[in-house]
Amino acid sequence: MKESPDTDTDTDKAGAGARTGRWVTVAAPLALVALTAAWLFLGAGGVRTVVVRLAFGVLALCLGAVGVSVFRAGAARNRTYARAVRAASSAPGGDRPAGLPARLHGTPWPSLRAVGLLVALPALVCLWIVLAVAEPDSGGRAAALREAGAVTGKLRITAIEHEVIEGRGRQADATARYTVLLPPANGQRAGRGVPASFTADTERRQEVGGELYVGYVPAHPELGAVGDDQQAEVERKVSGRAVEAATSWVAGGFWILVTLALCAGWWREGVTRRGARNTGEGWVALRVRVTGGGKHTDAPPAEGTDQMTARERRDNTRQLSCLLLAVDGTDRTVPFHGELSSTVAGTVLAGASGLLVWHPQRRRSKDVLAELIGDDGWQLPGAVPARVAEEAAADAPGPDRAEPSGAGRQVRLLDLGAAWSATVPKPLLAGLVCSVAIMGALLAVPDNGAWRLWAGAAGLLAPVAALLVRTSRSAPGSS
């Protein structure tokens, strides 16, 4: 059967949107991880410069690709879902729509998108925090000392000038210009030291005769010195790190733990994560028809009358957004949920007929992993609440539970979210552009100061503000 030009156009747009989405899905999380790790753990130098520039360039390219996708092939989610359905409906084997395929597809790209999002979000939050609190510029003297191979040691204060005290008592913070005597270049103890002055913000007031941690080059005392009452701060200045080593490891540890926790939770609960597998004995297949999208309350049966049982029942009750499937030959409706917009999917797939198939032993958490296989040749992964699946299988007529094998039938994975990049709202895109521009400024301008905190907050909140604007505009009754 020859496809119409409209179908070809929709297929091309779906393919282009999917390719853009896949590239951004892989590249953006990797760029964010590289950028965050370089800014957290690397000192100033060629390696950090190269990594930061390459990672930020890839991030900018990802944003540009999303922008092109939005303005060229952008559409509402219902249109991209419809394009995906038409693209996946051209699988051969439609002459035997009732047959159960011998092999079902896995979900590599939907799973990769979920992991990419769970990796990117913690990295992005961590990056914004360290960009805001970083002090990448320690001055030209620190850079010269770093290039000459500076060391850190404790030296005695010989003079204090221009002291500004913040607070009261000996524990008050202070900013002053301190002078110390550096060892002479020849290393002789009898020689007079070389005076070196620097300005430092200390956590407590200092006195002449006290000691500070000082970074200097023993062979070149003429290069001067940098100092502080905290050794970690001196080492940060000498190495050119954006944040202190202890701070970077604490922030990096939280970042890694949060990322691992999110990925572990998805690995345990994600209902669309699965590999390719063969069908056969033990599989249940029901003839169903999609009636639309809706809500389903999955609650355990009411057993017992004591307060503890009632509390446990409330704790185990959940609301699911799902597709509603009417089982042929019965008056039963089965909820089918997955990682998709059920309202839009219900509108697009309403009226479609096919098979709902699952194996009773393939469970994840409170669900049975299931596949909705359309008569048009597409396969949509999802799940059915375990209790509902058991009741539906027990009540279904015999023939409905034993669909004939379609050994020669082929299906295509229906990835409704493949063209996600084309559905990004334009206000959100504008917020992301603003956010990335601010990020570039924080990376490129080494100046320290309170402006970094304000810029970091603005960059982090810009996409959120854009979403709020879009929500307010699309709200019912808005002009």
Residue with tokens 């082929």: 410
Alpha helix segments (H runs only) across 292-333: 307-315
6 has pLDDT over 80? no
CA–CA dist 161, 172 (Å, integer): 17
Q: What is the pLDDT of residue 329?
A: 81
Quickly state the pLDDT bin for 1 (edges 50, 70, 90): very low
90 has pLDDT over 80? no
pLDDT digits (tens, 9 = 90+) for 98-153: 578 888 999 999 999 999 999 999 999 999 999 998 888 777 788 888 888 888 88
Token readout for 227 is 């100092």
Quickly state the pLDDT bin for 309 (edges 50, 70, 90): low
307 has pLDDT over 80? no
pLDDT digits (tens, 9 = 90+) for 162-221: 888 876 766 678 888 899 988 887 655 555 788 988 888 888 888 888 889 999 988 888
Q: What is the pLDDT of residue 189?
A: 55
CA–CA dist 49, 200 (Å, integer): 27
The mean per-residue pLDDT over the stretch 48-76 comes to 91
Q: Which residue has the higher pLDDT, 314 or 296?
A: 296
Residue with tokens 């959100």: 428
What number of H helices and E strands is found in the chain?
Answer: 13, 16
Q: Which amino acid is at 327?
A: V
462 Rama class: left (phi>0) / alpha (psi -120 to 50) / beta: alpha
Q: What is the pLDDT of residue 62?
A: 96
Q: Which residue has the higher pLDDT, 454 or 478?
A: 454
CA–CA dist 223, 455 (Å, integer): 34
CA–CA dist 24, 71 (Å, integer): 16
Cβ neighbour number for residue 390 with a 10 Å cutoff: 14
440 has pLDDT over 50? yes
As a whole-number percent, the residues of the chain with pLDDT over 90 amount to: 39
Q: Which amino acid is at 447?
A: D
C-beta separation of 232 from 246 below 8 A: yes
Q: What is the pLDDT of residue 384?
A: 95
Closest Cα partner for 296 from 367, 353, 358, 379?
367
Residue with tokens 């941690």: 213
Beta strand spans in 102-242 (E)? 103-104, 151-166, 173-182, 194-202, 211-216, 226-228
Secondary structure string (H, E, C) spanning 372-408: EEECCCEEEEEEEEHHHHHHHHHHCCHHHHCCCEECC
Q: What is the pLDDT of residue 108?
A: 93
Closest Cα partner for 325 from 372, 290, 375?
290
Q: What is the pLDDT of residue 12?
A: 60
Token readout for 323 is 């597709």
Pairing of strands 284-298, 318-327: antiparallel
Lowest mean pLDDT among 5-19, 91-105, 371-385: 5-19
**H-helix or E-strand containing 148?**
helix 140-148
Q: Which residue has the higher pLDDT, 470 or 195?
A: 195
pLDDT averaged over every residue in the chain: 84
Token readout for 112 is 């990769």
Q: What is the pLDDT of residue 400?
A: 44
Contacts of residue 399, Cβ cutoff 8 Å, sequence gap at least 6: none
The mean per-residue pLDDT over the stretch 27-55 comes to 93
Cβ neighbour number for residue 326 with a 10 Å cutoff: 17
Q: What is the pLDDT of residue 146?
A: 84
- Annotate 75-122 with DSSP letters as a single string: --HHHHHHHHHHHHTT-S-TT-TTSEESEE---HHHHHHHHHHHHHHH
Q: Please classify residue 84 by burial: count the beta carbons closer than 10 Å to its beta carbon, then call 0-12 exposed, 13-18 middle and 19+ buried.
A: buried
CA–CA dist 86, 163 (Å, integer): 74
- Angle at which helices 5-41 and 245-269 cross, to 10°: 150
pLDDT digits (tens, 9 = 90+) for 233-254: 888 888 888 888 888 999 999 9
Q: What is the pLDDT of residue 170?
A: 67
Quickly state the pLDDT bin for 399 (edges 50, 70, 90): very low
CA–CA dist 239, 245 (Å, integer): 10
Residue with tokens 């089965």: 334
CA–CA dist 156, 107 (Å, integer): 65
Chain centre to alpha carbon of residue 356:
32
CA–CA dist 373, 167 (Å, integer): 71
C-beta separation of 73 from 17 below 8 A: yes
Cβ neighbour number for residue 76 with a 10 Å cutoff: 12
The mean per-residue pLDDT over the stretch 340-363 comes to 90
2 has pLDDT over 70? no
Q: What is the pLDDT of residue 304?
A: 52
288 has pLDDT over 90? yes
